[in-house]
Each structure stands twice: as C-alpha cells, then as structure tokens.
Amino acid sequence: MTSPSPARPNRADPPRPRPPDCCTSPSRRPREAGGVAARIGDADRDRVAGILAEALAGGYLDPEEHAERLEAAYAARTEAALAP
C-alpha cells in the first residue's frame, strides 16, 4: 500500500500576503556614533503598535503574543528594544 501524497495548495487560492515588517525585517534606522543605540520616542512606539495591530488583524500574531509585544514596545527606551 502506498502512502497518500502530501496535500497541495489549491491553485485557485490567492497567495498569502507577506507578514508585516514587525515579523520579518530588522530596524533600518542607523545607530548613533560610538555604537550606542538610538533613543526612541512615543511616535516610534506608536508606529510599532500600529504594525503590531496589522499583524494581529492579519492573523500573524495571536492575541497573547500581540499583548506581549505591545507591552514590550511601550516599555522600550532604545531602538534595539523595538526589534522583533
């Protein structure tokens, strides 16, 4: 007896959208001179919160992980702390 072939995606299904930047790419802001991480402000934290909200809505994060990442984002003081 042969084993069943692995399931193949339905070709009629649209491709899954790319995950938001919070899940894939590192921060693109340069570090300050001397290798010290750049400090961030409320606008930076709010930007990350918006990206996290998109990831939650898109199903890339579950509510528990969203809450953990959101708490970490609002507690962050440096750019490095905002990295995924």
Q: What is the pLDDT of residues 59-84, one digit of tens each?
A: 999 999 999 999 999 999 998 888 76
What is the C-alpha to C-alpha distance for residues 37 and 4, in angstroms, rounded to an integer? Answer: 53
Q: Two tokens at 80?
A: 């490095």
pLDDT tens-place string over residues 9-63: 555 656 666 655 555 444 444 444 456 678 999 999 999 999 999 999 999 999 9
Where would I find the H helices in the chain? 21-24, 42-57, 63-75, 79-82
The per-residue pLDDT for 1 is 53
Q: DSSP letter for 29, please.
A: S
pLDDT (0 to 100) of residue 35: 60
* Domain-wise residue ranges, the chain: 37-82
